[in-house]
Amino acid sequence: MLLQLANTYNPAKEYPTGFWFSSPKLNGIRCVYQRFGEIKGLRSQTLTTRFVGLDRLELACQAICDANNLSFLDGELFIPGKTLDELTVLVRDRTNYDLAEKFAVQFRVSAVVETTNPNLTGHQMIALMRQNIPAQGMVSLIPQNLIRSTPLGVLDEATSVMNSGISDEIILRNPDSVYSEVRSLRGANAPSDNLLKVKGITSGIFTVVGFTQNPVVNFVSYMSVEGMVNGVNKITRVYGLNDEEEQDLWMNRDSYMGKQVQIVYMGLSATGNLRTPALGRFV
């Protein structure tokens, strides 16, 4: 079983789903537990390394898999309060580790594969996990929250998770996707838009200063906005509008000129430009 890999979220892109399952990306180490085959146990993301000193954790994973007919657990090794560097040193130590310190390592589960039905959708998989993976303990479920697939929906969720102190990053999963399906056209283990990582998402209030027409469909190709970012005045082109927005903005462009609008974007590029800006809402 190949691990599902995440692409980077782009708020200006229209994704083929109305909702996402959102979960916090912990400050942990990607890990999988495989129940069967030669490559089994708790393993690294590449599946080539089996972590040592985690026998107690492996037994807990095996018990959950045996009881619920699961073949595969995907998640993160995690110790609350430990930095990623500290955790990495401890988990990857194969000779000089303190077993008591290894006992503190937890496995937080974000995905599973069922033995008899490996083609569960995201909805089915998360329902199964909520029923059978404990909410707390050495092996526990990473909370999953269903949110709308809009730039503002993702922004609000990421902001809520960050303000809670849990994480500064979230993971989005397409509820209709299947874990074991082909990841993308680039290959079976390449990232796909069924799983997305979101970090650095933010927004600002800008003023509409212009519209540029698409010569093919005669509606808006992009909207130009102007505003201050970190004390610097920025003029930005906003693409990624859907057909309805393109038509409405062009047909009513005079009434939209000068209006304030919330723009969602993924921080600033190396040149100081807004990265993948998208329309949030008119203020």
Question: Where does a domain end: 94, 125, 141?
Answer: 141
The range of the structural domain enclosing residue 208 comes to: 202-282
Positive or negative torsion for Cα 109, 149, 18, 3 = negative
Mean pLDDT of the chain, nearest integer = 91
Question: Where does a domain end: 141, 163, 187?
Answer: 141
CATH number for 21: 3.30.1490
Residue bearing tokens 């073949």 = 71
Strand order through the sheet with 29-34: 41-43, 29-34, 70-78, 106-114, 139-141
Q: What is the pLDDT of residue 190?
A: 62
Q: Are residues 36 and 124 in the same domain?
A: yes
- Using 50 as the pLDDT threshold, list the residues of the chain that sit under it: 182-187
Q: What is the pLDDT of residue 185?
A: 40
Q: Are residues 86 and 216 in the same domain?
A: no
CATH number for 36: 3.30.470.30
- Report the predicted TM-score, pTM, of the whole model to 2 decimal places: 0.89
Q: Are residues 148 and 134 in the same domain?
A: no
Q: Are residues 170 and 255 in the same domain?
A: no
9-18: pLDDT as tens digits: 999 999 989 9
Q: Are residues 136 and 154 in the same domain?
A: no
Eight-state DSSP code of residue 276: S
Q: Tally Cβ neighbours within 10 Å of residue 84.
A: 12
Angstrom CA distances, 262 to 169, 170, 202, stand at 21, 21, 10
Q: Are residues 277 and 217 in the same domain?
A: yes
CATH number for 274: 2.40.50.140
Nearest residue to 14 via CA among 122, 151, 121: 151
Q: Are residues 31 and 132 in the same domain?
A: yes
Number of domains the chain is built from = 3
